[in-house]
Amino acid sequence: MKEPLFSAKNLKLLTGPLNLNNPITVQVLGICSALAVTVQLKPAIVMALSVTVVTGFSNLIISSIRNTIPPRIRIIVQLVVIASLVIIVDQLLKAYVYDVSKKLSVFVGLIITNCIVMGRLEAFAMAEKPWRSFLDGVGNGAGYGLILIAVGFFRELLGSGKLLGLQIIPHFLYEMGYKDNGLMILPPMALITIGIIIWIQRSANRELIDKS
């Protein structure tokens, strides 16, 4: 019997990484880029989409050819696939959203070394069927993106009073003495924000707390 495309089991691949198996807050992967590109919301969104595309398609491609890859050189093969996808994404960004591409600078290229991509290939795509792998890749990319966007949201809102470049905090508040929080723009605050998200997530999901 053929399994439906979006069976409950498959859907779980997609939704699991959003919360209980989140690549950033639970697996603690991909922290580096999460700190670097979340000063503003727009680059965070673009980065989230780029990573989702790369994880999704690299999982799909590697999974389709997994039986033909000699185990000894599998890492090199994986890297070639990831690198090609990243180059495509990078070129697309340069062509259509040049300003964001400039802001993301080296971090698009660094998706190649993002632990999430490699981790999912090794842990999932090498052993699972293409469609399930694709879902898993998209799910993990989305889980990563979700955190990135949440962090970017708070950092831009509190750090510069804007969202997507639009002034959100009204002018009269500034006249009353409100000031933008300069710490939010600095990388440490991204780490602290992620820490707070982890704190909240674990308080809500008791099963995530380490038993020791």
Which residues contact other proteins by CB under 8 A? Answer: 177-179, 181-184, 186, 192, 195-196, 199
Rounded (10°) angle between helices 130-160 and 187-204: 120
Closest to other proteins by CB, 139 vs 161, is 161
Closest to other proteins by CB, 98 vs 174, is 174
Closest to other proteins by CB, 32 vs 192, is 192
CB 181, min distance to other proteins, A: 5
CB 205, min distance to other proteins, A: 17
Identify the bridge partners of residue 167 per DSSP, sorted by sequence position.
162
Report residue 156 as tokens: 């831009």
CB 179, min distance to other proteins, A: 5
Neighbours of 37 (CB within 10 A): 27
CB 62, min distance to other proteins, A: 39
Closest to other proteins by CB, 170 vs 182, is 182
Contact 30, 116 (CB under 8 A): yes
CB 178, min distance to other proteins, A: 8
Across 151-187, b (16+ Cβ under 10 Å) vs e yields bbbbbbbbbbbebeeeeeeeeeeeeeeeeebeebbee
**Residue whose C-alpha is closest to residue 150's, from 197, 185, 115, 188:** 197
The conformation of residue 166, written as its DSSP 8-state character, comes to: E
Closest to other proteins by CB, 122 vs 180, is 180
